[in-house]
Amino acid sequence: MNMHAIARRFRLVQVLILLSFCFLNPSVGFAQAPLEPLKLIQVAPNVFYVQGLAELGSSQNQNFISNAGFVVTPQGVVVIDALGSPMLAQRLITSIRAITSKPIIALVLTHYHADHIYGAQAFKALGATIYAQAAGKNYLNSDAAIQRLQSSRIDFAPWVNAETKLMPADIWIQGDLKLDLGGYPVQLLHAGPAHSPEDLMVYLPISGVLFSGDILFQGRIPFVGNADSKGWLHSLERIESLKPKMIVPGHGSFSNQPEKAVVFTRDYLRYLRETMGPAARNLESFDEAYRATNWSEYEGYPLFKAANRMNAYNTYLLIQSE
């Protein structure tokens, strides 16, 4: 048995142990069971994040495939993104409590993709105010959101289950919004339509840290989906204009070299558009254009097989619509 298989079996054993604990103690729910905190990475004074895995979401990893972060302000804790299951959110709360006893007063959702929002109810239960960009209402109220949650209750069971809810924002933002939390500014910046129509970034000017959400990916193939890649490229320009000292992406490791952090995502999006564009505009075969493209620069990255062809096809369709 190889090391990957051993690791998978170990994670499955952990899941079964926790399930057994809960089933043998009916009065104890997941939120009350002993929780292992998530590993915190500090990027500036009072600013931390947790780093998701560079793999597809699954029951074995509790859908822990995206990043989330938080900043401790004089008024309380602001959390950026809620992770991909209520259990993960509870584990993040455990990690926060190891740092500070201040109340968790706000949750900012950078966008309404499943791996960033399914933990939101855990923060709402603590009284946090949820902020999101107003375009997120369209997804939240769509059949696609309901169907995705239904399938996630199967794919990510028991961590996403019948008790997992889609949480609306308390404050829907139009444009940018600046919060002043006891003299500590937190800027919510509308970056969409890009990766999604409702992309938000969170900038902390005192420390120079930018939480980019999925405007930036590090160390894995970006998820393009139905993204607006032209708008996405403009959002990357905005990141450069901010000149942050540190960037925490939606996926992958943080970077203290912001100029270099932008390069991978920008070059990938440009390459998709350059290689798929001629076939799209000339109404030529996508399959032929895809086969003729040299993907060697990207095929060694995690999730290339899972995402690249879909990314290319969606870019092909987008350019046709443009």
pLDDT recorded at residue 18:
44
**Span 260-283, pLDDT tens digits:** 999 999 999 999 999 999 999 999
Q: Are 34 and 20 in contact (CB under 8 A)?
A: no
pLDDT recorded at residue 52:
98
- Opening angle at CA 131, ends 126 and 136, nearest 5: 125
Say yes or no to pLDDT of 19 above 70: no
Q: Which tops the pLDDT comparison, 79 or 29?
A: 79
Q: Which tops the pLDDT comparison, 208 or 34?
A: 208
Residue that has been written with the tokens 């302000």 in this structure: 73
- Opening angle at CA 195, ends 193 and 199, nearest 5: 60
Identify which of 211, 214, 222, 218 has the alpha carbon closest to the alpha carbon of residue 245: 211
Say yes or no to pLDDT of 20 above 70: no
**Band of pLDDT at residue 226, cut at 50, 70 and 90:** confident
Residue that has been written with the tokens 């201040």 in this structure: 102
DSSP secondary structure letters along 237-304: HHHHHH--SEEEEEES--BS-HHHHHHHHHHHHHHHHHHHHHHHHTT--HHHHHHHS--TTTTTSTTH
The predicted model scores a pTM of: 0.89
**Span 63-110, pLDDT tens digits:** 999 999 999 999 999 999 999 999 999 999 999 999 999 999 999 999
pLDDT recorded at residue 35:
81
Domain 35-257, CATH class in plain words: alpha beta
Say yes or no to pLDDT of 303 above 80: yes
